[in-house]
């Protein structure tokens, strides 16, 4: 399988990726726990069917010490006992924010209130921004049919 376009060879794509990456770096440097960040990226990527991002973020998380058990259970986090209450709140907000078109009012107030119990305002800004950025990456990769499986940890710096 080949991607529809070579975004890695496009000057315009390089400019766009620079801005996406800058937004992602702001989140990385925030007070939002790194483990939570990876779980959010993985779950949104699973929902969106983005094999490229799912491959990348599961490998990155494993490299940073995430367990195989937790990685294998992200898709079924509601039934899993291996996530903290804060992680579960972040995963729920991720699902609601990723599936925003499926709900006639957007993210429900109770989902937001639950996340706000565990994260301060700056962390919530980071969390919402991360959900938006990973969804943008997912959409780009899904539309372009970016193939998955060949990602190497650290490949993009």
What digits encode the pLDDT tens for the residues 23-38? 989 999 999 999 999 9
Q: How confident is the model at residue 51 (pLDDT cuts 50, 70, 90)?
A: very high
- Is residue 152 over pLDDT 90? yes
Task: Specify the pLDDT at position 154.
Answer: 87
pTM, 2 dp: 0.94
**Residues whose CB falls within 8 Å of the CB of residue 1, separated by 6 or more in sequence, listed in order:** 145, 147
Q: How many C-beta atoms surround the C-beta of residue 56 within 10 A?
A: 22
CA distance 37 to 139: 18
Indicate if the alpha-carbon torsion angle 16, 21, 24, 25 is positive or negative.
negative
Domain-by-domain residue ranges, the chain? 7-144
Over range 56-77, report the average pLDDT: 97
Indicate if the alpha-carbon torsion angle 138, 144, 148, 152 is positive or negative.
negative
Could you tell me which CATH number the domain at 7-144 has? 1.20.1290.10
């Amino acid at each position: 399988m080949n991607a529809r376009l070579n975004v890695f060879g496009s000057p315009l794509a390089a400019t766009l990726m620079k801005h996406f990456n800058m937004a992602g770096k702001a989140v990385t440097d925030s007070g939002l726990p790194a483990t939570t960040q990876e779980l959010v990226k993985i779950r949104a990527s699973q929902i969106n069917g983005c094999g490229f991002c799912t491959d990348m973020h599961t490998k990155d998380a494993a490299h940073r010490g995430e367990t195989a058990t937790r990685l294998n259970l992200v898709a079924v986090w509601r039934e899993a006992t291996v996530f903290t209450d804060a992680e579960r709140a972040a995963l729920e907000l991720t699902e609601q924010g990723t599936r925003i078109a499926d709900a006639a009012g957007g993210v429900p107030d109770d989902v937001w209130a639950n996340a706000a119990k565990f994260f301060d305002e700056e962390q919530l800004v980071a969390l919402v921004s991360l959900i938006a950025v990973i969804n943008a990456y997912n959409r780009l990769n899904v539309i372009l049919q970016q193939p998955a499986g060949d990602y190497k940890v650290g490949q993009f710096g």
